[in-house]
Amino acid sequence: MTTLDPKLKAAARTVAAHAYVPYSDFPVGAALKTADGRVFTGCNVENRSYPLGMCGERNAIGAAAAAGVRPGEIRELVIYMPGDRLFSPCGGCRQVIAEFLPADARVWATNDGVSFKEWTAEELLPDGFSFDGLEPSV
């Protein structure tokens, strides 16, 4: 079993303080580590059109992608939420996680306490949608 990286937890907690959450009042921060050791963070950003809000997980992965990180290069993702309850990533985040993290990459949910939940990317979205094996139509 792997262990939760305290530096990633601290980075996720720090960025959660920058979340824009006037509607849910539920700040979430995410920090990820790439195969070469780079760390990227993101927080949730809400707006009045709820479906257009962005989760911390997707913002962290988007920041990594903007820096040139490609699918398969992210090794670990930590999601921080305040309080004592833990939640898993939403469905949209699960799809993005499935596309950018290898199936065996670790995803952690953590909070202000010492508790955490741990999954592999594949456990979060078993049999996720993929274009693998499909022939392009020309």
pTM (whole model) above 0.85: yes
| The total number of residues written for the chain in this structure | 138
In terms of CATH architecture, what is 6-124? 3-Layer(aba) Sandwich (3.40)
Share of the chain above pLDDT 70, in %: 93
Q: Residue 102 and residue 121: Cα distance in Å, rounded?
A: 7
Per-residue confidence band for 138, with pLDDT thresholds at 50, 70 and 90: low
Measure the CA dihedral 80/83/86/91, to 10°. Answer: -60
47 is in an annotated binding site: yes
Who's near 134: CB < 8 A, 6+ residues apart? none
pLDDT tens digits, 1-25: 579 999 999 999 999 999 999 999 9
Do 96 and 61 meet the contact criterion of CB atoms below 8 Å apart?
A: yes
* Catalytic-residue membership of 57: yes
43 is in an annotated binding site: no
- List the chain domain ranges: 6-124
pLDDT tens digits, 83-110: 999 999 999 999 999 999 999 999 999 9
- What are the helix and strand counts (H, E) for the chain? 4, 5
55 is in an annotated binding site: yes
The per-residue pLDDT of the chain, averaged, comes to 93
Out of 57, 118, 123, 135, which one is annotated catalytic?
A: 57
Angle CA(62)–CA(80)–CA(102) in degrees, nearest 5? 50
Phi, psi of 76 (to 5 degrees): -160, 145
